[in-house]
Amino acid sequence: MIFKNNKLTVNDLPKQLPDFKNSELPKDRLTEKWLTDWIVNSIKAKRINVGDILPKKNVIAQYLGISVGTVQNAIRYTEDKGYLQSKQRTGTLVAEFSGHTDVIKKQTSKRDVTVFKVKKYIVENGIDSVMPPASEIAKSINVSTNTVRLAYLNLCDTGYLKYTSGKSGKKVLKVVNIPDVSTDNKAQISKSLVDKTTEDLSNFITKNLKKGDKLHTRAELAKLLEVSIKTVHDAVNILEAKGILLSRRGRYGTVIVKMPEEAEIFQPMKERSIFAKAEDAAFYRWEKIENKILDMIKTEYEAGMKLPSMEELSEKFDVSTNTIRKALKILSEKGIVDFERGRYGGTFVIDIPESTENSVYEWLAVTHDFAPMTSGN
């Protein structure tokens, strides 16, 4: 369903502001409740609609008299409960609420990893009363103070922590239920948003693309997978390290060189050989172009003739000028071409070999499987 994105203003926000002074809840948690109640009631009254865009965070912060960071935390929690959705280059939108408030959307976020670490910290340090400041735990578990605060709020929602009034009247965070970290699924909890995005991207490739296809742009993938461009970039880097993707500069982007299921099958073989397989080596574009230029020289040119410019060769072979430059450099080292500078300079053929073996696609394996073929013993 397509929703119209109407931009809301502060005039659309409720006139009754949260009572920050007298509430036992922290400001971000109280703001989240205020936002949730407003969204539910306004949709019922048809004052706002799904897809409407909230005012900017700094505008809401100024309206409520609180910090932008507090508003950001509140919006994150409201998103987790399914009432809001953030979209890059658009803003924070009113979401189509499913009605299941217990379902948290971002179950693989950094905060969820921190939740497990805070639970572990409570157990290992025997904390059964007042919790240390978020900044103290943040240093101990090596995350930001703000992420720890979000973890605290999650643990309040799940019944492990509770804010109460201390002797001085200040709010104190206390442990009300000691967590059992042994029952947590550590594998799932430790999985980051990048890991989840990497899985989603692998599944997308398997279902929609094939070997040799060009991958969508980072921006397009971010929109498809509903994550940030930075998260997509990190996921692509992981798949590159696994040999599934190969990124090249310029207009050629990122290409699929191996399907995800193939990467799983052939992963052990990589550890047994120091050379790339022939089918993988073929994706080094400059090597393929070197052969094509060599074939062109042998069939169309004579010694002393000038080759087309790098830009012309780039257009002819549909590759980047950088790839052409690499290929010509190798041919120069082999004594096939030579470069001359100046007004009448360029790339000139200086020798035409009678025949060359296609050595680019040959490879030597040092695995046990091929040892009898490469050994004289």
Which CATH architecture is the domain 193-271 placed in? Orthogonal Bundle (1.10)
From CA 112, how far away is CA 151, in angstroms rounded?
A: 7
Q: Which residue has the tokens 């950088």?
A: 322
- The pLDDT assigned to 251 comes to 62
| From the candidate CATH numbers 1.10.10.10, 3.40.50.360, 1.20.1260.10, 3.40.50.2300, the one assigned to the domain spanning 285-361 | 1.10.10.10
Q: If one looks up domain 10-94 in CATH, what number appears?
A: 1.10.10.10
Weakly modelled stretches of the chain, pLDDT under 70: 1-4, 88-89, 97-111, 182-192, 249-252, 263-285, 353-377
Query: Minimal CA–CA distance to 73: which of 144, 141, 121?
Result: 144
- The pLDDT assigned to 359 comes to 39
Query: In 10 A of CB 257, how many CB atoms?
Result: 18
From CA 348, how far away is CA 300, in angstroms rounded?
A: 13
Residues 92/52, Cβ–Cβ less than 8 Å? no
64 token code pair: 């409520």
- The pLDDT assigned to 140 comes to 87
From CA 242, how far away is CA 91, in angstroms rounded?
A: 34
7 token code pair: 């931009």
Give residue limits of the domains in the chain.
Answer: 10-94, 110-189, 193-271, 285-361
Residues 351/338, Cβ–Cβ less than 8 Å? no
Tell me the DSSP string of 156-210: HHTTSEEEEE-TTS-EEEEE-S---GGGS-HHHHT--HHHHHHHHHHHHHHHH--
User: DSSP code of 99?
Assistant: S
Q: 172: Cβ–Cβ under 8 A, 6 or more apart, which residues? A: 130, 163, 164, 165, 166
| From the candidate CATH numbers 3.40.1800.10, 1.10.10.10, 1.10.1740.10, 3.40.50.300, the one assigned to the domain spanning 110-189 | 1.10.10.10
Residues 305/338, Cβ–Cβ less than 8 Å? no
Please report the beta strands in 4-149, taking only residues with DSSP state E, as ranges in sequence order.
Answer: 84-87, 91-94
Tell me the DSSP string of 269-287: HHTT-SS--HHHHTT-HHH
CA 224 to chain centre: 12
Query: In 10 A of CB 160, how many CB atoms?
Result: 19
Does 285-361 match 110-189 at the fold level?
yes
**Residue 21 backbone dihedrals phi, psi, to 5 degrees:** -70, -40
**Amino acid, single-letter form, for residue 72:** Q
- The pLDDT assigned to 302 comes to 81
- The pLDDT assigned to 109 comes to 56
108 by DSSP, 3-state: which? coil
- The pLDDT assigned to 332 comes to 85
From CA 200, how far away is CA 226, in angstroms rounded?
A: 11
